[in-house]
Amino acid sequence: MCYITATELKNNLMKYMELSLTEDVIVTKNGNVLTMLTNPKDKALLNFLKLRDEIKNVDDISNEDALLEAIETR
């Protein structure tokens, strides 16, 4: 995880966009967290796994069915 200021992000946007593919980049302003750059593939996988765990009878549902459920509930 990497912490940077908003000014640093503004001055080196591509650098931190590329870095966010491998680690989270936390952007701060005046010491307060503004946002986080993160890999969307990792976020999608975490959301998928979280939703799968929330579905009743997880043992009775395939990953494909859980993914379809996730898509339908979006």
Third-level CATH fold of 2-37 = YefM-like fold (3.40.1620)
Q: Within 13 Å of residue 48, how many CA atoms lie on the same side as its CB?
A: 14
Is the pTM for the entire model greater than 0.85?
Answer: no
pLDDT at 5 (0 to 100): 97
Mean pLDDT by 10 residues, the chain (74 residues): 96 96 93 90 76 66 73 66
**H runs (alpha helix) in 1-74:** 6-11, 13-19, 40-54, 63-73
Q: How far apart are CA 74 and CA 4, in angstroms?
A: 32
Q: Which residues of the chain form CATH 3.40.1620.10?
A: 2-37
